[in-house]
Amino acid sequence: MKQSNLQKIQNQIRDKFLKQGIKMVGPETIFFSKDTKIGKNVTIEPYVVFGPKVKIGSNVVIKSFSHLEECNIMNKVEIGPYARIRPKTILKEGSKIGNFVEVKKSIVGKNSKVNHLSYVGDSDIGKSVNIGAGTITCNYDGVNKNKTKIKDNVFIGSNSSLVAPVTIENDSTVGAGSVITKKVNKKSLALTRANQLEIKNYKRKKK
């Protein structure tokens, strides 16, 4: 298909959504698929790309430089900037996916947040969960993709690695910098850290 035809199709889709009341900042920088579905009172910032099979609810904000494909975004969700939402992802009402976060084949529960620099794959996240910056779900062992289950009201501290298959039960906390390989029980604090070592009056080597 000629470039001019692609541009014409994109302009038609943009015009359709603008007439529906979708707020687009820099619509010429936003790219849709023919099957993109969008609800009411949605704001899309510049440089957002919609791949196939994307469904957006109402009162959603999608910030700049985000990429979405084959996903279901429910009402009152905030995405981006610089977020990647991959296939078979469901973001439930009130959830938030922040900057430099990638989500794949996962459910992010109501009012849960993954705000910064994280990877969530093959995961089922409950309600009101906070995923700290730099957290990753280690879902691939080189052969199989494994599941991470994070129940309601869980707090995951920054820079944690959750080695699947693993379950984090309700109301539990994972301390920052932990590598979790076993089930975390309800209302528990899980920590895996080496003791801090300090050498006094240490002198660095010089060239």
> Which CATH number covers residue 113?
2.160.10.10
One-letter amino acid identity for 74?
M
pLDDT at residue number 81? 98
Domain enclosing residue 50, as ranges: 3-190
pLDDT at residue number 2? 56
Q: Determine, yes or no, domain membership for 202.
A: no
SS (H, E, C) the chain: CCHHHHHHHHHHHHHHHHHCCCEECCHHHCECCCCCEECCCCEECCCCEECCCEEECCCCEECCCCEECCEEECCCCEECCCCEECCCEEECCCCEEEECCEEECCEECCCCEEEECCEEECEEECCCCEECCCCEEECECCCCECCEEECCCCEECCCCEEECCEEECCCCEECCCCEECCCECCCCEECCCCCCCCCCCCCCCCC
Segments in the chain below pLDDT 70: 1-3
Q: Name the active-site residue from 110, 116, 147, 149.
A: 116
**Alpha carbons 52 and 205: distance in angstroms, whole number:** 56
Q: Determine, yes or no, domain membership for 201.
A: no
116 is catalytic: yes
What percentage of the chain exceeds 70 in pLDDT?
99
pLDDT at residue number 4? 78
The predicted model scores a pTM of 0.94
pLDDT at residue number 207? 83
Q: Determine, yes or no, domain membership for 199.
A: no
Q: Determine, yes or no, domain membership for 44.
A: yes
pLDDT at residue number 114? 98
pLDDT at residue number 104? 98
Q: Determine, yes or no, domain membership for 196.
A: no
Q: Determine, yes or no, domain membership for 62.
A: yes
For residue range 52-111, what is the model confidence (pLDDT) as tens digits?
999 999 999 999 999 999 999 999 999 999 999 999 999 999 999 999 999 999 999 999
* Rg for the chain, CA atoms, rounded: 20
Q: Determine, yes or no, domain membership for 198.
A: no
**What is the count of structural domains for the chain?**
1
pLDDT at residue number 156? 98
Q: Determine, yes or no, domain membership for 197.
A: no
Are 161 and 176 contacting, i.e. CB atoms less than 8 angstroms apart? no
